[in-house]
């Protein structure tokens, strides 16, 4: 019995056969990275991504906080440092968030923050505080080299989102009615809830604390630009309450200092 073997392949044939596999191996990592980074869309009819920033409610851009000494010492405002805010885990992402009912949250794939949300909130609050409270200048971390804030503000952002109490009008399966053209509920609200503390770095003591809760009805679900405007406005309310607390703390400190023999 004879066993027939296939004729031997030349070296050039073996190299040619290996090229498609080599090309596939080379292309796979690139395609995978595009998919993970969100730069590649499998849907041709997907709407374009839109990006939003905070700060439209700031009336003007005040001077950057400065540190002065000597003859200018009397003109120095009370310097307040804003620590990086702590965000609820579900807010620590680039997507605008909408809460449906009590427990369900959805992330707007095509509507995103144009900057890291914590930095955007902090930067906006620093500008608002500097214009809101007389005698107070605020700076967001990291503050300038040599700056020594008299007080620190620690924020915890618990809610920063749109709210829809009844989601019966949404598209259901993916909840992307506003992005895919599906039906939407008739009304919603914007919601900011933030817990805050004012800390004296000299001894680490907390000299004031509070919670700011701004739930504003009348938002139309699907209007993401309108949602950003409302959240921006809510930051103005937060800045106002922080300014009141800081002014009270500074006043009490000055009174205590005046009553203490030098």
Q: CA-CA distance, 235 to 128, in Å (whole number)?
A: 8
Among 2-16, 56-70, 74-88, the range with the most confident prediction by mean pLDDT is 74-88
User: pLDDT-based confidence at 180, cuts 50/70/90?
Assistant: very low
Which domains, and CATH codes, for the chain? 77-167+182-256 (3.40.50.10610)
pLDDT tens digits for 238-254? 999 999 999 999 988 87
SS3 content of the chain, % helix, strand, coil (to 5): 35, 30, 35
pLDDT tens digits for 97-116? 999 998 999 999 999 999 99
| Beta carbons of 167 and 98 less than 8 angstroms apart | no
pTM of the entire predicted model:
0.72
SS3 162: strand
């Amino acid at each position: 019995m004879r066993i027939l073997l296939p004729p031997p392949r030349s070296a050039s044939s073996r190299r040619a056969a290996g090229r498609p596999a080599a090309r596939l191996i080379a292309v796979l990592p690139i395609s995978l990275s595009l998919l993970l980074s969100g730069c590649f869309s499998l849907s041709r009819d997907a709407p374009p991504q839109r990006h939003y920033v905070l700060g439209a409610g700031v009336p003007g851009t005040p001077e950057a906080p400065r540190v002065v000494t000597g003859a200018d010492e009397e003109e120095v405002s009370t310097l307040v440092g804003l620590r990086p805010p702590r965000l609820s885990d579900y807010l620590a992402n680039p997507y605008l968030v909408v809460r449906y009912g009590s427990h369900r949250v959805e992330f707007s794939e095509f509507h995103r923050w144009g900057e890291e949300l914590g930095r955007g909130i902090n930067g906006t609050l620093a500008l608002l505080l500097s214009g809101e409270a007389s005698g107070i200048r605020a700076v967001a971390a990291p503050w300038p080299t040599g700056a020594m804030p008299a007080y620190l503000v620690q924020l915890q952002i618990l809610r920063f989102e749109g709210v829809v109490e009844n989601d019966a009008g949404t598209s259901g399966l993916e909840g992307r009615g506003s992005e895919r053209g599906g039906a939407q509920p008739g009304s919603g609200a914007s919601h900011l809830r933030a817990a805050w503390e004012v800390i004296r770095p000299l001894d680490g003591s907390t000299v004031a604390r509070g919670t700011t809760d701004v739930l504003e009805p009348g938002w139309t679900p699907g209007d993401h630009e309108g949602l950003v405007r409302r959240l921006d406005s809510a930051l103005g309310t937060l800045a106002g309450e922080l300014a009141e607390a800081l002014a009270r703390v500074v006043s009490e400190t000055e009174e205590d200092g005046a009553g203490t023999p030098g």
